[in-house]
Amino acid sequence: MKKALITIVILAAVGVGGYIWYLGNMTGDGSAPEAAAPETAAPEAAEAVEETVDEAVEATEEAAEAVEETTEEAAEATEEAAGEAVEATEEAAGDVAEAVEEATEETVEAVDEATEEAAEAVEATTEAVEETATEAVEETEAAAEAAAEATEEAAEDAAAAVEETAEEVVDVLSPEGFDADAVIEMIDNSSLGDGQKRALKSAVETARNSPSVAADVLAQVRSALGM
C-alpha cells in the first residue's frame, strides 16, 4: 500500500515538473504579450495534478480497503470451511469408530458362540464315541461268550460223534455186529496198500459167506487198521 502511494506521488511530481518545463519553453520564443500565460497556467496545472494525485490516492486507498475486506472475507470463509471440514472429519471419525466397535463386538460374540457350539459338538461326539465303544465291548464280550459256548458245544458234539463212530466201528468189527459192506468201506478208505486191501476184502467176502471164520477175519482187519 505504501509503495503504491509513493509511486503515485513520484509520477504526479514528474508530471507537474514536465508540464512546468513545457510552459517555460513556450515563453522563451520572444512573444511578450503571451508571457503572462504561463504564470497563470502553472498554478492551474499544479492544482489539476494535485487533484489527480488526491483522486489516485483515494482510489488506491479504496482499492486497498476493498482488497483488505475481500481478504478478510476470504479468510473468514476459509476459516468457516476449515471448521466445517474439521467437524465433518470428527463426525466421520466418530461414526467409523462406532462402526468398528460394533463390528468388533459382533465378531467377538460370533466367535464365542462358535466356540461354545464347537465345545458342545466335541462333548457330544465324545459321549457318542464312549457309548459306541462300550456297546462294542459289550457286544464283543457277548460274541466271545457265544463263540466259546458254540465251540464247547461243537467239541462236545464232535466228541460224542467220534465216540459213537468208534462204538459203531467196534460193533461192525465184532462178530456180533459184523457188517461186511461197512468193513469193506473201512478198508477202501484206509491208507493200506492196494494188495493188502484186496486180500482183506477177499477175506471179508469169505466171512460174509462163512460166518464161522468171521472172528478170525475181523481180527486180521482190526490188526491191519491198527485198532
* Alpha carbon distances (Å) from 39 to 14, 34, 52, 72: 19, 10, 21, 49
Q: What is the pLDDT of residue 42?
A: 61
Q: Exposed, middle or buried: residue 149 (CB in 10 Å: 0-12, 13-18, 19+)?
A: exposed
Give the model's pLDDT for residue 32: 46
Residue 5: predicted pLDDT = 60
Residue 90 has a pLDDT of 86
Q: 114-136: per-residue pLDDT in tens?
A: 778 967 986 887 788 688 878 87
Residue % of the chain over a pLDDT of 90: 22
As a whole number, the mean pLDDT across the chain is 77
Residue 149: per-residue pLDDT? 81
Q: Where is pLDDT greater, at 192 or 16?
A: 192
For cell 520564443, the residue is 29
What confidence score (pLDDT) does residue 181 get?
Answer: 95
